[in-house]
Amino acid sequence: MSWTDERIEQLRQMWEGGMTASQIAEALTGVSRNAVIGKAHRLGLQSRPSPVKGGEAASAAEAEVEAAPPAPKPAPVAAVSAPEPVAPKPAPPAAAPAAPASAPVSDAPPAPVMRSIGPGGFQRQNPHEQQAPIPPAPPRRLVPAKPSAEIASKTSLLELNDRICKWPLGHPGEPDFHFCGDQVNPGFPYCLAHCSVAYQAQLPRRDRRPPPPLPYGAPRVR
DNA sequence: CCCTGATTCGC
DNA sequence: GCGAATCAGG
């Protein structure tokens, strides 16, 4: 494969859009990650935060970059080949309850809380902490979460491998059906965020709590 | 190990 | 100009 104008343009947009060289290389079939990086440099595309850089020459140039980081990444223009409207970004799915109003525990001496770690690094709850393992099943409609930088190129079925999230976005058959494509939570087929959607901790029936407040018309739990 | 981008250098 | 090999940090 050679660098046609079209491919160069796609590379440029994806690079500026924040895609990693690997992602770009996958999207532009027939080129390696190195090829992408090499080309990007030859094009004069500015390097984005690279891990290997701080080592030397902490000069003015770098200082400037450090000085003004909080610039929200502008939504990159859609790829030339597949202009796609940017779908509204829904709230992250079923995030773990940040700090649920923990039980009115007295100000007793705080015994060190021991928690076991589940697969994938999730913290398990102790039996005593089960107040709200999961906030009452949200009656909301589930909307697929949208990963950060998959605006320019969507992860297609052909690009799936063992280390990218296979969480489907959209519906098969639809033109923009694709997969999440983020890095997987090691040992799982999905990224961390989608694992939290796909896997819900299930407590022994004995320890389960029915009473919690089912808001109006929430689905009956048997 | 996995990942990342940067750089080098033979082609 | 190209990109594999290599480097080096996370």
Q: Give Cα A54 to chain centroid, integer Å.
A: 26
Q: Which nucleotides of C are covered by protein (CB under 7 A)?
A: 1-10
pLDDT of A154 higher than 50:
yes
pLDDT of A86 higher than 70:
no
Average pLDDT, stretch A68-94? 41
Task: Report the pLDDT value the prediction gives residue A219, as an integer from 0 to 100.
Answer: 55
Would you say the C-beta of A21 is within 7 Å of strand B?
yes
Structural tokens at position A102: 């923990």
Average pLDDT, stretch A87-93? 42
Which residues, at least 6 apart from A185, have a Cβ–Cβ distance to it below 8 Å? A120, A121, A191, A192, A195
Would you say the C-beta of A25 is within 7 Å of strand B?
no
Nearest nucleotide by C1' position to the A32 CA atom: C3
Task: Report the pLDDT value the prediction gives residue A31, as an integer from 0 to 100.
Answer: 92
Q: Provide the CA A49 to C1' C2 distance, Å, integer.
A: 24
Which residues, at least 6 apart from A30, have a Cβ–Cβ distance to it below 8 Å? A1
Would you say the C-beta of A52 is within 7 Å of strand C?
yes
Q: Which nucleotides of B are covered by protein (CB under 7 A)?
A: 2-8
Would you say the C-beta of A38 is within 7 Å of strand C?
yes
Collapsed DSSP state (helix, strand, coil) of residue A30? coil
Average pLDDT, stretch A35-57? 74
